[in-house]
């Protein structure tokens, strides 16, 4: 079980390390979103702290979609996906490996983006900054987990790239809300972010479990 997962993960990481396709496009795209919002709203002081959480979450969300769309497209070429369907390994391994790989890509982008973000929005964190180390990974996991699942679901449809956003964003709304509220409350120091972190954790557990259970149904749908 673990070996199949590890093989898929190592393969995805190796491809990404050699091409850096997903990483570069995500980094540049999220940078663009941050700059565009900064120009549009001219954030200063308290106002910057209030909108920063939302901007960071939405920037991550839009950026990840570009990587999520590529996640399965690569497998379609040369009928790799058909070969994977025929292997005896459970689809859940493949799914989990893809989620972990893309989670790592998005996290690296966030780590690079965060300092830039603090500089451009002149942020001083008023709350407990270390809590961000829980909020961002939990929110990213919710996004990437559902994203990989829905990308597999929409892969065989017409305009699949548009369709992924159309079905992912509505389902992601509660996690986005929790992520934004938690980040904002950490940045401004008002309110308690723990409630939102618990909500994110619950969302992650529920949706990851159901994705793992239903992935084979989607993967083998014909």
Partner 1 sequence: MKKLALISYAALVVALMIWGYYQAIYVAPLDAMQGEIFRIIFYHVPSASVAFLFFAISLAGSIGYLAFRRGNPGWAQISDAWALSGAEVGVVFCTVVLLTGPIWGRRAWGIWWTWDARLTTTLLLWLIYVSYLLLRRFAAGPQVQTLAAVLGIFGAMDVPIVYMSNRWWRTQHPAPVFGGAEGSGMDKSMVPPFLWNMVAWLAWGILILILRYHVERQHQQIAEQEAHEALTASS
Q: Which two tokens stand for residue 45?
A: 């002081």
According to the binding rule CB under 8 A, does residue 154 interact with partner 1?
yes
According to the binding rule CB under 8 A, does residue 51 interact with partner 1?
no
Residue selected from 32, 83, 156, 194 as contacting partner 1 according to rule CB under 8 A: 156
Residue selected from 106, 148, 178, 186 as contacting partner 1 according to rule CB under 8 A: 178
Residue selected from 19, 44, 79, 157 as contacting partner 1 according to rule CB under 8 A: 157
Least distance to partner 1, CB of residue 93, Å: 19
Least distance to partner 1, CB of residue 195, Å: 6
CA angle 34, 143, 193 (to 5 degrees): 75
Indicate the DSSP class of residue 193: T
* Look-up of token digits 């449809």: 157
Closest residue by Cα to residue 161 from 220, 76, 99: 76
At 128, is the secondary structure helix, strand, or coil?
A: coil
Stretch that binds partner 1, among 77-85, 114-122, 131-139, 194-202 (CB under 8 A): 194-202
Q: Which one, 88 or 170, has the nearer CB to partner 1?
A: 170
* Look-up of token digits 């956003």: 165
Residue selected from 8, 49, 98, 181 as contacting partner 1 according to rule CB under 8 A: 181
According to the binding rule CB under 8 A, does residue 195 interact with partner 1?
yes
Distance CA 82, CA 85 (A): 5
Closest residue by Cα to residue 186 from 142, 122, 136, 111: 136
Distance CA 108, CA 48 (A): 24
Q: Which one, 96 or 199, has the nearer CB to partner 1?
A: 199
According to the binding rule CB under 8 A, does residue 163 interact with partner 1?
yes
Least distance to partner 1, CB of residue 62, Å: 17
Number of H helices, E strands in the chain: 8, 0
Radius of gyration of the chain (CA): 18
Q: Which two tokens stand for residue 16?
A: 């990404």
According to the binding rule CB under 8 A, does residue 40 interact with partner 1?
no
Number of residues that bind partner 1 (CB under 8 A): 31
At 22, is the secondary structure helix, strand, or coil?
A: helix
Residue selected from 29, 72, 121, 203 as contacting partner 1 according to rule CB under 8 A: 203
Binding site for partner 1 (CB under 8 A): 146, 150, 153-154, 156-160, 163, 166-167, 170-171, 173-174, 177-178, 181, 195, 199, 202-203, 206-207, 210, 214, 217-218, 221-222
């Amino acid at each position: 079980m673990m070996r199949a997962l590890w093989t898929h993960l190592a393969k995805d990481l190796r491809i990404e390390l050699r091409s850096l396709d997903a990483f570069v496009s995500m980094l540049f795209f999220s940078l663009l979103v941050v700059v565009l919002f900064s120009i549009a709203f001219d954030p200063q002081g308290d106002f910057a702290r209030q909108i920063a959480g939302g901007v960071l979450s939405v920037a991550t969300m839009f950026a990840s979609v570009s990587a999520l769309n590529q996640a399965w497209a690569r497998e379609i070429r040369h009928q790799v996906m058909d070969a994977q369907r025929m292997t005896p390994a459970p689809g859940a391994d493949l799914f989990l490996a893809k989620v972990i790989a893309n989670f790592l890509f998005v996290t690296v982008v966030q780590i690079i983006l965060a300092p830039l973000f603090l500089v451009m929005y002149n942020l001083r964190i008023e709350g407990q900054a270390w809590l961000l180390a829980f909020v961002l990974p939990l929110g990213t996991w919710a996004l990437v987990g559902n994203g990989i699942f829905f990308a597999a679901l929409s892969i065989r449809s017409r305009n699949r790239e548009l369709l992924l956003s159309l079905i992912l964003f509505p389902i992601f709304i509660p996690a986005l809300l929790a992520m934004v509220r938690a980040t904002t409350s950490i940045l401004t120091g008002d309110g308690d972010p723990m409630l939102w972190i618990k909500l994110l954790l619950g969302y992650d557990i529920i949706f990851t479990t159901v994705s793992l259970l239903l992935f084979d149904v989607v993967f083998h749908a014909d």
